Structure 1
Amino acid sequence: MNTVYETKVNKVGPSVADFLGEKMIILFGENAPAELAEYCLLINVKDVVEDIVPGNVLKLGEKEYKVTAVGDAVRKNLSSLGHITLKFDGSVTPELPGTLYLEDADIAEVQAGDTIQILS
Structure 2
Amino acid sequence: MSKTIFQTSVYELGDQVDAFYDEGMFVLFGENVPDTLKDFCHFIDVNQVDGTIGKGNTLVIDGAEFKITAVGEIAQSNLETLGHLTVVFSGAAEAGLPGSICVEAKPMPKLKVGSKIAIKED
Deviation for aligned residue 1:38: 1.3
Paired AA for residue 41 in structure 2 = C
- Deviations along 1:29-71, one digit per CA (max 9) or x if unpaired, are 0121233121011000111111111111101122211100000
Paired AA for residue 72 in structure 1 = E
> Using the alignment, how far apart are the partners of 1:52 and 1:103 within structure 2?
15
> Using the alignment, how far apart are the partners of 1:14 and 1:62 within structure 2?
25
Counterparts of 1:75-114 in structure 2, within 5 Å, are 75-114=76-115
Residue 35 of structure 1 corresponds to 36
Residue 8 of structure 1 corresponds to 9
Deviation for aligned residue 1:112: 0.6
Question: Bigger shift: 63-72 or 27-36?
Answer: 27-36
Residue 26 of structure 2 corresponds to 25
User: After TM superposition, what 4+ stretches of structure 1 lie above 6 angstroms from structure 2?
Assistant: none
Query: For 2:67, what is the secondary structure of its paired residue?
Result: strand
> Using the alignment, how far apart are the partners of 1:104 and 1:40 within structure 2?
21
Residue 63 of structure 1 corresponds to 64
The alignment's TM-score, normalised by the length of structure 1, stands at: 0.95
Query: For 1:20, what is the secondary structure of its paired residue?
Result: helix
- Any unmatched runs of 5+ in structure 1? none
Identity among equivalent positions (%) equals: 37
> Using the alignment, how far apart are the partners of 1:15 and 1:61 within structure 2?
21
Deviation for aligned residue 1:27: 0.6
Aligned length: 120
- Any unmatched runs of 5+ in structure 2? none
